[in-house]
Chains A and B, each alone.
Chain A
Amino acid sequence: MLMLLSEEKSGNIEIGQLRTVGSAVPDHNKNNIIGDSKRRTRLTDYNRQEVTKGFLSGEAEWIFWMDDDTAPPLNAITGLLHSGHDFVAGAYFMTAEPYHPIAYRKMPDNGLYAPIYNYPDGALMQVDSVGFGCTLVHRSVYEKIRDAHTVFERHNGALLVVPNDMVTGNVGDDYFEPYVKDGVYYEHIKAKSEDDDRQFPFYQLEHGRTEDHYFCELAAHVGVKPWLDTTVVCTHYKTMPTTKDNYTEFLLKETGLA
Chain B
Amino acid sequence: MKIAVFGNMDIEADSGVEVRRFEITSFYPNEKIDGLYYRIFVSNCIPELPREAVMDFLKKAHDALEVNGEIIVQVPMAEFAAKQLFTNKADPITYYMLYGTDEHPFRACYTMLQMRTLLARAKFNVKEATEAILKLTTTDGEELNLPVHNLVAVRND
Contact = CB atoms under 8 A, between A and B. Distances in A.
Interface of A: 82-85, 119-126, 231, 255-257
Nearest to B87: A256
B131 A85 contact: no
A85 B113 contact: no
Contact of B83 (A85, A124, A125, A255): A255
Nearest to B149: A120
A138 B156 CA distance: 19
A84 B129 contact: no
B154 to A, nearest CB: 6
8 contacts: A83-B127, A120-B111, A120-B112, A120-B113, A124-B127, A124-B129, A125-B129, A257-B86
B130 A125 contact: yes
A84 B129 CA distance: 13
B63 interface: no
Contacts of A125: 128-130
Interface string B119-133: 000000111111100
Contact of B128 (A82, A120, A124, A257): A124
A122 B111 CA distance: 9
A248 B24 CA distance: 35
B111 A121 contact: yes
B66 interface: no
> Which of B83, B87, B113, B117: most chain A CB closer than 10 A?
B113
Interface residues of B, number: 22
Interface in B101-157: 111-117, 125-131, 149, 154, 156
A231 B111 CA distance: 13
A85 B149 CA distance: 20
A121 B113 contact: yes
> Which of B87, B112, B115: most chain A CB closer than 10 A?
B112
B155 to A, nearest CB: 12
Contacts of A119: 131
B3 interface: no
> Which of A85, A119, A122: most chain B CB closer than 10 A?
A122
Contacts of B87: 255-257
Q: What are the nearest 4 A-B pairs in CB distance?
A: A122-B113, A120-B112, A122-B112, A124-B129
A84 B154 contact: yes
Nearest to B86: A257
A29 to B, nearest CB: 32
B131 A124 contact: no
Nearest to B115: A122
A84 B124 CA distance: 11
Contacts of B125: 82-84
Given A84-B154, A256-B87, A257-B87, A120 B77 contact: yes
A124 to B, nearest CB: 4
A121 B111 CA distance: 8
Nearest to B79: A120
B127 A84 contact: yes
A246 B86 CA distance: 21
A176 to B, nearest CB: 48
Nearest to B77: A120
